[in-house]
Amino acid sequence: MNKKIVIPIDFSDTSRNALHYALSFLGKDKSDIYLLNAFEPPHMGTGMLISINDILEKESKSALNQEINKLKEANKINGYHFETISENGNLVGSLKKWSKKIKFDYVMLGTNGATGIKGALFGSNASEVIDCAEIPVMTIPAEAKFNGLNKILFAYDGLSFSTQKPVEELKFLKEEFGAEIHVLHIDTPANHEHKNAIQKNLTDLKNKLKLEDSHFHKEYYESAIEGIHDFTLKSPNFDLVCMVPRKKTFIFKFSKTKAISIGTKIPLWTLRD
């Protein structure tokens, strides 16, 4: 069965770069790709609003089809099946609505990331999508270029998974791309009461992924975010950073107004448990 991938498009260079990155990432895998444009009309009188909505929807559909035609001209279709979605509303609400209808497997989203993990994107679409989505989300910085996945960093809080989904995703990346998986655990004061359980979970993960000792990294910080930020700055050769957000105890917790940015060129994939 084909994977169903939704890629939000607002016709900016950032969203177009995310689209091209996604196509390179997916390679020759048969996928159904949904290009989603969410548009919001200006505030006007009721009668005028209906007319403006119709105009914006028509323009949105036309522009999305033009994006597909450009891909065809550049021979970047690769057998993908494309669908377009023009939705009157904000991005998060549109994704929620269509995710219920279509059951997407992934969201792949362009973002104008701030420099470093400490950079906060206030009010960003990316942070809200990560916060609300129930499926994996890949946020792709404007400067990111896909050159394969050679080294992947999994930032892991050491807590137990309720399912094997995160491990299976990491196994897939390792096998599909021949990637070298590294695991980073930030030891914070808040972790000390769970020290034994965390060590057991780290060992279990190492065995499941068949990782070498040299691919496990432990750093000591007051804040996990500070630790990940510093690690990605001093070890910048990772092609992808993965995390598992947790609603209650997630040490890299997202809010609706903030998002973590891992460098300016490294995509972030939030997996789901």
| Residue range 240-260, pLDDT digits in tens | 999 888 764 444 444 333 344
Mean pLDDT, to the nearest integer, of 98-104? Answer: 94
Q: What's the rounded Cα separation, in Å, for the pair 39 and 20?
A: 22
pLDDT tens digits, residue range 105-127? 999 999 875 443 333 233 367 77
Sheet bearing 240-243, strands edge to edge = 81-88, 31-39, 3-8, 106-111, 137-141, 268-270, 240-243, 151-155, 180-187, 216-220
CA 18 to chain centre: 10
pLDDT score, position 256: 33
Q: Per-residue pLDDT tens for 56-100?
A: 889 999 999 999 999 988 877 777 899 999 999 899 999 999 999
Tokens matching residue 5: 């991938």
Q: What is the average pLDDT score of the chain?
A: 83
* pLDDT for residue 99: 94
For residue 271, is pLDDT > 60? yes
Q: What is the pLDDT of residue 1?
A: 72
pLDDT, position 40: 82
Q: What percentage of the chain reaches a pLDDT higher than 70?
A: 86
- pLDDT band of residue 221 (cuts 50, 70, 90) is confident
Q: Which two tokens stand for residue 26?
A: 């997916």
Q: What is the pTM (predicted TM-score) of this model?
A: 0.86
CA-nearest of 61, 98, 82 to 19 is 82
Digit-coded pLDDT (tens) for 182-207: 999 988 887 777 889 999 999 999 99
Q: What is the rounded distance in angstroms from the CA atom of residue 154 to the CA atom of residue 92?
A: 26
- Res 119: pLDDT: 32
b/e per residue 39-60 (b: at least 16 CB within 10 A): bebeeeeeeeeeeeeeebbeeb
Tokens standing for 167?
Answer: 């491990």
pLDDT higher at 42 or 155: 155
d(CA 236, CA 262): 10
Q: Average pLDDT for residues 201-223, to the nearest whole number?
A: 90
SS3 state at 168: helix
